[in-house]
């Protein structure tokens, strides 16, 4: 299935390439779901979520109208289901270029809520296991969020060079919680467009809720009575 990435300069057709998000967290938090929804917003039905072992999580993600499988990208490549692969990994030697995307079937994004400093989880869980079976590229040496990775990928797919993008480390969010103003520091890199950080629409809400509510109890949607319905995710 072909897909097109809509950019201000028109559409760039990327053959039958799929964008695979390898789910690597123990649970699906509202923050992680916000990141995932942004990937789907950019790539639509060309998004595939892999390694989703929990049936409740699979059901939630299928509500985004995309493919979801419990098999990992490593299993799919090893079994020959998927051929030509690029893994986006900050530890890669070379940066991603538009021409890298022309001859691959899949681009893999690690579904990881990053830690500071980074622990190299994409390398440990994906890159090291695929070894010579994939190309490995970075989007710069800074740790991007999942949504930021998807945005940068979409721009490079549209022909923009990595070095032409405005990517800055660190972001401070100020949110009002009742009568209090809370400042939240995010130690990740974020792409900017026209001087404004590119974020999912509900990012400030879910980040502030994680910082003030979910730290005190389970943040897993699978364990919550407020699990979103499939219709609310579309």
Kindly report, residue by residue over 67-122, the tens digit of the pLDDT. 999 999 999 999 999 989 999 999 999 999 999 998 899 999 999 986 667 778 99
Average of pLDDT values for 34-59?
A: 96
Mapped to the 3 state alphabet, what secondary structure does 17-52 carry? CEEEEEECCCCCCHHHHHHHHHHHHHHHHHEEEECC
**Would you state the structure tokens that stand for residue 62, as one six-digit string?**
């299928």
Give the separation between CA 48 and CA 180, rounded to whole angstroms.
40
pLDDT for residue 219 is more than 80: no
Kindly report, residue by residue over 114-146, the tens digit of the pLDDT. 666 777 899 999 999 998 889 999 999 899 999
Domain ranges of the chain: 4-161
Give the DSSP H/E element, type plus range, for residue 187.
Answer: strand 180-193
Mean pLDDT of the chain: 84
Kindly report the pTM of this predicted structure.
0.84
Residue ranges of alpha helices (H) inside 4-131 are: 30-43, 55-62, 73-78, 121-122, 128-130
Give the separation between CA 25 and CA 92, rounded to whole angstroms.
22
4-161 has CATH 3.40.630.30 classification: no
């Amino acid at each position: 299935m072909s897909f097109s990435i809509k950019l201000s300069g028109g559409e760039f057709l990327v053959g039958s390439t799929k964008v695979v998000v390898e789910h690597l967290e123990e649970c699906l938090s509202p923050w992680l779901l916000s990141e995932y929804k942004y990937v789907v917003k950019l790539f639509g039905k060309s998004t595939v979520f892999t390694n989703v072992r929990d049936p409740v999580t699979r059901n939630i993600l299928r509500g985004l109208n995309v493919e979801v499988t419990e098999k990992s990208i490593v299993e799919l490549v090893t079994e020959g289901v998927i051929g030509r692969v690029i893994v986006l990994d900050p530890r890669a030697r070379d940066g991603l270029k538009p021409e890298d995307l022309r001859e691959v079937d899949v681009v893999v994004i690690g579904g990881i809520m990053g830690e500071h400093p980074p622990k190299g989880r994409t390398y440990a869980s994906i890159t090291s296991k695929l070894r010579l079976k994939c190309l490995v590229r970075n989007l710069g040496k800074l740790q991007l969020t999942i949504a930021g990775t998807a945005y940068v990928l979409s721009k490079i797919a549209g022909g923009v060079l990595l070095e032409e993008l405005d990517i800055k480390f660190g972001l401070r969010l100020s949110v009002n919680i009742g009568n209090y103003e809370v400042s939240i520091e995010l130690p990740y890199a974020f792409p900017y467009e026209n001087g404004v950080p590119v974020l999912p629409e509900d990012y400030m809400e879910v980040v502030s809720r994680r910082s003030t509510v979910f730290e005190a109890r389970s943040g897993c949607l699978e364990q919550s009575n407020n699990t979103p319905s499939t219709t609310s995710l579309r």
